[in-house]
Amino acid sequence: MLLSIFAIVEKIKKSIATVVKHTGSHYIISELPQWELIPAVVRGKLRLSGGSTTNPIAVGDKVEYSVVTDESGIPCGEAVIHSVLPRDNYVIRKSTNLSRQCHIIASNVDCAYLVVTIDRPETKWPFIDRFLVTCAAYRVPVKILLNKMDLYRDDELLMEKVSLFHSIYEDAGYQVMDISVVENFGIDELREQCRQAGISLFSGVSGVGKSSLIKSLDPSLEPKISNISDKHLQGRHTTTFYEIYPLAGGGFIIDTPGIRGFGLVDLEQEELSAYFPEMLRVEDNCRFKPCTHTHEPGCAVIRGVEEGSISLERYNSYLGMLDEESKYR
């Protein structure tokens, strides 16, 4: 008798949801844009669409799941994830160029914000360029947020670095937004962009203020923020999980732990220049095709560097990446 009652009230629901948090072997999923969190696990063998990575399921992934529900359809207990749907796009990296292991930072991203700082901590340019190249290669729209502007304003040397930064990346074709969480500068515009975008990813090295930014966009959220602003203590990772937050006014934001190394994944040397917008714009004019833009006569990229329309810093980044890709292949 008891058994038959259970048979009537318990139902199995099968559906599709987005992974909103990943903590070791556990996941939290929600049927975005609804925000109803369901804990989930993987049992047995997972059907995967991509190659092998350290995290077969990433935040942002759409997954097929099943869960036991009560008679009104409310999930009881943990859901089981059965498969990951093909990804529209994703941001992927290797922890070092030597490592074979890839890690997906997030998938199905409408806009990736690379949060950088000129000082405290200083974000290194090769890191920035690797991130930008990866976004281009994996079809993720990307913008740059230059945070902690309050720390640079009264320092002439730092402000020179700020203008150089703007000219290099804006000339290359990227949008660079000045931001200060402390002064609430640029936050309203960013909030509006995030509201319209859908899912926005915040990424960057540790200590640049990714979690602080998320908190300033919606003060009701509680991402973990470092309370140490001492520059010698930067590099301790405050955020340790990948997690999506819903913004009060609309839109979703992914907070991520700071990235240390950013190794490129599966890029052919010949295609690399296509992921530098300023090179892509002119490489049709190179005399030789394909052209590596390193030594060829009549190379439009080299001419651009000589004439100053392509920045030497970005070109050197390109050469560095070419070199490493040939070394570690």
> If contact means CB under 5 to 8 A according to the sort of partner, which of Mg ion, Zn ion, ligand GTP, none does residue 321 touch?
none
CA atoms of 80 and 56, how far apart (whole Å):
15
Alpha helix (H) ranges present in 198-294? 210-217, 277-280
Complex with ligand GTP: residue 229 or 285, whichever CB lies closer: 229
What are the Cα distances from residue 169, in Å, to 69, 188, 202, 280? 51, 23, 18, 15
Which residues are within 8 A (CB) of 77 and not within 5 positions of it... i.e. 6 or more apart?
A: 67, 68
Q: Quick check: 279 binds Zn ion (CB under 5 A)?
A: no
DSSP 263: B
Q: Residues 250-279: x/- map of binding to ligand GTP (CB under 6 A)?
A: -------xx---------------------
Complex with Zn ion: residue 67 or 286, whichever CB lies closer: 286
Q: Quick check: 237 binds ligand GTP (CB under 6 A)?
A: yes
Provide the Cα torsion 73, 60, 99, 139; round to 10°: 150
Q: Which of 23, 34, 101, 229 binds ligand GTP (CB under 6 A)?
A: 229
Q: Under rule CB under 5 A, how many of the chain's residues touch Zn ion?
A: 5
Q: Quick check: 21 binds ligand GTP (CB under 6 A)?
A: no
CA atoms of 217 and 193, how far apart (whole Å):
11
CA atoms of 283 and 228, how far apart (whole Å):
46
CA atoms of 131 and 133, how far apart (whole Å):
6
Q: Quick check: 291 binds Zn ion (CB under 5 A)?
A: yes
* Helix, strand, coil share (%) of the chain residues, nearest 5: 30, 25, 45
Alpha carbons within 13 angstroms on the beta-carbon side of residue 290 total 9
> If contact means CB under 5 to 8 A according to the sort of partner, which of Zn ion, ligand GTP, Mg ion, none does residue 208 touch?
ligand GTP
| DSSP run (H or E) holding 18 | strand 11-23
Q: Quick check: 221 binds ligand GTP (CB under 6 A)?
A: no
Q: Which of 69, 193, 238, 269 binds ligand GTP (CB under 6 A)?
A: 238
> Interacting stretch for Zn ion, rule CB under 5 A, among 30-38, 253-261, 282-290, 304-312?
282-290
Q: Which of 63, 168, 301, 310 binds Zn ion (CB under 5 A)?
A: 301
> Interacting stretch for ligand GTP, rule CB under 6 A, among 25-33, 48-56, 92-100, 207-215?
207-215
Q: Quick check: 309 binds ligand GTP (CB under 6 A)?
A: no
For the four alpha carbons of 264, 265, 268 and 274, in that order, the dihedral sign comes to negative
Complex with ligand GTP: residue 228 or 319, whichever CB lies closer: 228
Q: Which residues pair with 85 in a beta bridge?
A: none
Alpha helix (H) ranges present in the chain? 2-9, 125-137, 156-172, 187-197, 210-217, 277-280, 300-307, 312-327
Q: Quick check: 203 binds ligand GTP (CB under 6 A)?
A: no
* 262 neighbors 127 (Cβ within 8 angstroms): yes
Q: Quick check: 187 binds ligand GTP (CB under 6 A)?
A: no
Q: Quick check: 123 binds ligand GTP (CB under 6 A)?
A: no
> Interacting stretch for ligand GTP, rule CB under 6 A, among 6-14, 61-69, 192-200, 235-243?
235-243
Complex with Mg ion: residue 216 or 239, whichever CB lies closer: 239
For ligand GTP, the binding residues (CB under 6 A) are: 147-148, 150-151, 180-182, 206-212, 225-229, 237-239, 257-258
Judged by the rule CB under 5 A, the positions of this chain that interact with Mg ion are 210-211, 238-239
Residues at the contact surface with Zn ion, assessed by CB under 5 A? 286, 291, 293, 299, 301
